[in-house]
Amino acid sequence: MGIRLPGVLQAKQILRQSLLTASPAAVNVPKGYLAVYVGESQKRRYMVPVSYLNQPKFQELLHKAEEEYGFDHPMGGLTIPCEEDTFLNITSHLTSL
């Protein structure tokens, strides 16, 4: 009997869908990381460890992205609709497992 983690499963679905429509720039992502675009007006690309997908705070960011964009991300990759400072503040408190 396994434990189901709905948040992780949704995060993986979002990631999988964004990788299917990834731009050529997304190919240059190191193993164990994923590229996300962050920012209100000007989007900036960040590399985050995939272990963040298990973190509740990062899952909240992914849910915001799903609400805002669905699976149609304008940058061709996963876009998180928040200010860079907010993103950096949240991710700086996450631990990479």
Confidence band for 1, pLDDT divided at 50, 70 and 90: very low
- Residue 11 domain-assigned (yes or no): no
pLDDT of residue 49: 92
Residue range 67-77, pLDDT digits in tens: 887 766 666 67
Burial class (CB in 10 A: 0-12, 13-18, 19+), 40: exposed
Residue range 28-49, pLDDT digits in tens: 788 999 888 898 788 899 999 9
Domain assignment of residue 60, given as a range: 26-92
pTM over 0.85: no
- Residue 40 domain-assigned (yes or no): yes
Residue range 13-23, pLDDT digits in tens: 555 555 444 55
Domain count, the chain: 1
The Cα 11–Cα 86 span in angstroms is 19
